[in-house]
Amino acid sequence: MRYIQVMGDTLPDAYHEALVNLSLLGEIAECPDYNTRIIECGMEMIVENPLKEPMISKCGIYTPKDLQQYVLEIKDGILDFMIGKGKNAWEYTYHERIADQIPFVVEELQRNMWSRRAVIDVRNTAVDTSNEHPACLQHIQFMVRYKDGEPKLDMVVMMRSNDAVQATFMNAFGFILGIQKVVADKLGFEVGNYVHRVVS
């Protein structure tokens, strides 16, 4: 499988670069599982200044309201009530999988700023192996590293699968504001690099 790596100063810069690189791959394959055509590759998207404006891409298919709601879903669990309730019940939310692990991350990085153990596991094998819609986000790693002479919180996410057009931008936006900034604020550090790794 092919693999691309892109970098940008802001989230839209990196996302636009990713779309351009993806389009240059050119080979479109039939995807019978989803009855659609795809360009498949692995990708690493690095955002050097995740909170720098502009944060919203004009290429995105989401409104600012959609993006704000997604941040609140991840950060505050405003849709956790959908889990296991009714005909259209959800199996999980990212908030439900992540929230109780954030105190460990904060404590670990307070204990040792150079730790490489501040990891959140999102995959729940007991549920995701039989779930029709298993979590795309698999794990998140946090590291405090110096940038411009100041300690900043870097965050690396690993996605098993991510739709570049319909999901990547919204996911990255939500993860930066709903997770990375939350942990950085708890630690008293500024937000550092955001790295979005996608296997497929």
Question: Could you check whether the bond before residue 54 is cis, i.e. omega within 30 degrees of 0?
Answer: yes
Quickly list H helices, the chain.
11-25, 64-76, 94-98, 102-111, 125-128, 169-175, 181-187
For residue range 181-194, list pLDDT tens digits in order: 999 999 999 999 99
Q: How does pLDDT run across 57-107, given as a tens digit for each residue?
A: 988 789 999 999 999 999 999 999 998 877 778 889 999 999 999 999 999
Quick one: pLDDT at residue 40? 85
pLDDT value at residue 34:
62
pLDDT, position 33 = 65
pTM (2 decimals)? 0.93
Mean pLDDT, the chain, whole residue set: 92
Q: What is the pLDDT of residue 4?
A: 93
